[in-house]
Amino acid sequence: QVQLQQSGAELAKPGSSVKISCKASGYTFTSYYISWIKQTTGQGLEYIGYINTGSGGTNYNEKFKGKATLTVDKSSSTAFMQLSSLTPDDSAVYYCARGLRYYYVMDAWGQGASVTVSS
Amino acid sequence: DIQMTQSPSSLPASLGERVTISCRASQGISNNLNWYQQKPDGTIKPLIYYTSNLQSGVPSRFSGSGSGTDYSLTISSLEPEDFAMYYCQQDASFPPTFGGGTKLELK
C-alpha cells in the first residue's frame, strides 16, 4: 500500500537548520510530486511548496522562499525538506503529501514530523 | 493568495445526524476544491476531490457540492469515526490554500 514515512521529531536551537525526510513506498516514486505542508495551531495548514520527484524541479510558496529547501533522492524514493535559520515561528508539525501535480488532490500523507525551536 | 473561509469552526452533533460544513473562497475556484479529514493523532486523509468526487475507500455517507466560490461537505449519518477535524483546500491557483478547519464534536 502507498506509504509516506516521515522522520521523527526534532528539537532545534534558534538559528540552526533541520532536515526532515519523507520516504515513499508502494508506488512509482517519480510519478507523483511531493508537497510539504506546515501545521500550527495559530496559522492552521499552510502550503510550503512542491518538488517534481522526476526532474527535481521545485516551486515554493512565496512565504517560504529562503526558509525551506526541497530536494529528492530518487535512488531511495525519499524527499527532503530543509528548514534554515530557524526561529520559534518555525515550530510546527510538517507533513509531506503526494499528488499527481500541485493542482491535484493530495491523496496520501505522511504522519507528520514535529519541529520545536527553542533555546 | 486565495483565502478559504470555513464555517462553522466547531460543530457539535449526534450519532446518526446529518451535518454540513461550508467553505467559501475569496474568488472563484472553478470546482478545484478538495476536502480532508484529520484525526486526533494527526493522520490526514483525503475525502473528496474536485468538489464532489469521492476518494477511493471513503464511505458514501460523505458527499460534496458547490460551485464558484461556495462549497460544502455533507455527512449524511454520523458514525463514531467521523468525529474529527475537516479542512477544505483549493488548488485552482498556486499556492494551494486551506480553510481554517471545522471540528466535528460529539454532542
Q: Per-residue pLDDT tens for B5-41?
A: 999 999 999 999 999 999 999 999 999 999 999 999 9
Distance CA A27, CA B30 (A): 30
CB contact under 8 A, B44 and A103: no
Mean predicted lDDT score pLDDT of chain A = 97
Distance CA A88, CA A78 (A): 27
What values do phi and psi take at A31, rounded to 5? -85, -10
Interface residue of A105, A111, A115 to substitute, partner B, most B CBs within 10 Å? A105
Q: Residue A102 — pLDDT band, cuts 50, 70, 90?
A: confident
Distances (CA, A) of A55 to A65, A72, A79, A97: 19, 9, 13, 17
pLDDT over 90 (residue A108): yes
The total of other beta-carbon atoms located within 10 Å of residue A85's CB is: 11
Distance CA A104, CA B86 (A): 18
Cell numbers given for A69: 529547501
Q: Which residue in B36, B43, B92 is closest to A111 by CB distance?
A: B43
Closest to B23 in 3D by CA, of B94, B76, B84, B97: B97
pLDDT of residue A37: 98
Mean pLDDT of B76-85: 98
Set of chain B residues whose Cβ sits within 8 Å of the Cβ of A47: 95-98
Set of chain A residues whose Cβ sits within 8 Å of the Cβ of B49: 104-105, 107
Helix, strand, coil abundance in chain B, percent, nearest 5:
5, 50, 45
Set of chain B residues whose Cβ sits within 8 Å of the Cβ of A63: 95
CB contact under 8 A, A109 and B44: yes
All residues at 6 or more sequence positions from B81 whose CB lies less than 8 Å from its CB, including other chains: none
- What confidence tens digit (pLDDT) does each residue in A36-77 have? 999 998 889 999 999 999 999 999 999 999 999 999 999 999
Residues 79-98 (B) with a CB less than 8 A from some CB of A? 87, 89, 91-92, 94-98
Distances (CA, A) of B31 to A22, A37, A107, B53, B77: 30, 22, 17, 11, 25
pLDDT over 90 (residue A9): yes
For residue A110, give how far its alpha carbon lies from the nearest alpha carbon of chain B (Å): 8
Interface A-B, measured as beta-carbon pairs within 8 A, has a size of: 54
Q: What is the DSSP string of A13-70?
A: -TT--EEEEEEEESS-GGGSEEEEEEEETTTEEEEEEEE-TTT--EEE-GGGTTTEEE
* Residues facing A23 on adjacent strands: A5, A78
Mean pLDDT of B45-67: 98
Q: Does B101 touch chain A (CB under 8 A)?
A: yes
Distances (CA, A) of B1 to A19, A64, B18, B71, B95: 27, 14, 32, 18, 7
For residue B17, give how far its alpha carbon lies from the nearest alpha carbon of chain A (Å): 27
Interface residue of A67, A106, A107, A114 to substitute, partner B, most B CBs within 10 Å? A106
Mean pLDDT of A83-105: 95
